[in-house]
Amino acid sequence: LSLGAICDAVKYYNTVFLPVYNAERGTSYQPITIDQYMTDLPSLGCIHFMNNLEELTSEQKQLMEIHAVNMSEPFKEAHFGKEQGFKAVHNIDPRNNPMIRNAFKDPSLTKYLDKTQSFDLHFNVYKKEKQNALPVLNGKEKITIKPHAKIASIMIGSLAANASADYVQYLLNQGYDHIFLFGGLNDSIAARIDQIINSYPDSRHDEIRKKIILLGNQSDVEMAPIMTRSNCVVIRGGGLSVMEQMAMPIMDEKIVLLHHEDNEEGPLTSGLSWEDGNADKLIEYLSEKGAYAKKTSPGLCSGHLNEAEKDFEKKYITQLKSKGTKEKVDLTIPQQKKPPLKKEWGRKTGYTELGHVLSHQHRFFETIPEVREPFCSKEDLHHHELSSQ
């Protein structure tokens, strides 16, 4: 039924059916109204939603209450002001959104924001009885996340197999310890991940395979802790996906990237105005909370990850200067004070001129600390450099 037809049905119920029903049975049931929820964020891109509302008569609008998430006052006045004639308009707190599943709103998620603590993350595991068969649930598994580990989660759908694999490679290049890939049991995605693993030296296959967690169907109970603890999240701009991100607590130095196909001819777009609006509104919301949020694509992701690290470093140094602190170190990690070298850090690759790999804990130094021996072979270093180019 169209929205107008639903309004007419409610009008008939309230004005014709209900009075007769109450009179015949001696009841006192009250007239009903329509609660209309915007399943996308309120933006100028929501033409599919707004066009339907504009077609309603003033009488039909009086039967309807509008509910929207994080609606700005200018948008509310322009589209749902008194002259629009709706019965009521409600602005939903993103953290108390009835449209998303409960685990994404669980107050206990805040415990996963502490990167100095170790946590167990649980997920459903599946087995395949034959190729292309639907996965069969085979129980639950857990993975222990160590303090200060870099975690990422990717959820962009099984149709984007190549893009998912590209993002995994970029995150590996950035030194992420665990990468949760939702939909990773899809045959195309799993095959591309195998190619990535096999591109490393044989001695590192097990290590790389353990970093990439291919996930089948997960409930909100499994998804919410994983995404909350993730330093980096890659998603699409669907209405519920962006609302889930807004509902969860936001980690310091959070990176949220919204996947798009590469577009060399213009701005990134999903092709759907409401999804573009969702992305813009999520970016605005997260940026106000101190997160790094951008529309990205496989061709832009590596640059965005590097840009995010530099942005966080600048903010951190600014905070230290405002407190009168001279030493530019990450205070969340125990450090031994060492005399810095007069050699600049190659920020793009994370290597010194001698090919030494820098520890992630030193990323807030303006000059690098004492040089450490590489933790891998020259062959591994050569492979890592090629992958990051």
Round to whole Å and give the CA distance between 38 and 367.
Answer: 50
pLDDT at 226 > cutoff 90 = yes
- The whole-number average pLDDT for the span 364-374 is 38
Asked if 215 and 160 count as a contact pair (C-beta separation under 8 A), the reply is no
Between β-strands 119-127 and 136-145, what pairing exists: parallel, antiparallel or unpaired?
Answer: antiparallel
pTM: 0.80
Question: 66 pairs with which residues across the strands?
Answer: 36, 89
Q: Give the tens place of pLDDT for each residue, 104-148.
A: 999 999 999 999 999 999 999 988 765 566 677 778 999 999 999
- What CA–CA distances, in Å, run from 152 to 182, 233, 235, 280, 289? 11, 6, 11, 22, 19
312-319 long-range contacts (CB < 8 A, ≥24 apart) are 312/253, 313/363, 313/364, 315/290, 316/364, 317/364, 317/366
Four-residue CA torsion sign, 300, 302, 308, 310 = negative
pLDDT at 48 > cutoff 80 = yes
CA nearest neighbour of 37 among 79, 67, 61: 67
Four-residue CA torsion sign, 362, 368, 369, 375 = positive
pLDDT at 239 > cutoff 70 = yes
pLDDT at 371 > cutoff 80 = no
Q: How does residue 160 score in pLDDT terms, banded at 50, 70 and 90?
A: confident
Question: Is residue 53 helix, strand or coil?
Answer: helix
Q: Give the tens place of pLDDT for each residue, 161-193.
A: 899 999 999 999 999 999 999 999 999 999 999
Domain boundaries, the chain: 3-92, 102-310, 327-389
Q: Which CATH architecture group holds 102-310?
A: 3-Layer(aba) Sandwich (3.40)
- The whole-number average pLDDT for the span 369-379 is 44
pLDDT at 287 > cutoff 50 = yes
Task: Identify which has the larger pLDDT, 335 or 151.
Answer: 151
pLDDT reported for residue 265 = 87
pLDDT reported for residue 159 = 84
Taking each continuous run of H as one helix and of E as one strand, the counts in the chain are 13, 11
Q: How does residue 274 score in pLDDT terms, banded at 50, 70 and 90?
A: very high
Asked if 383 and 208 count as a contact pair (C-beta separation under 8 A), the reply is no
Round to whole Å and give the CA distance between 138 and 285.
Answer: 38
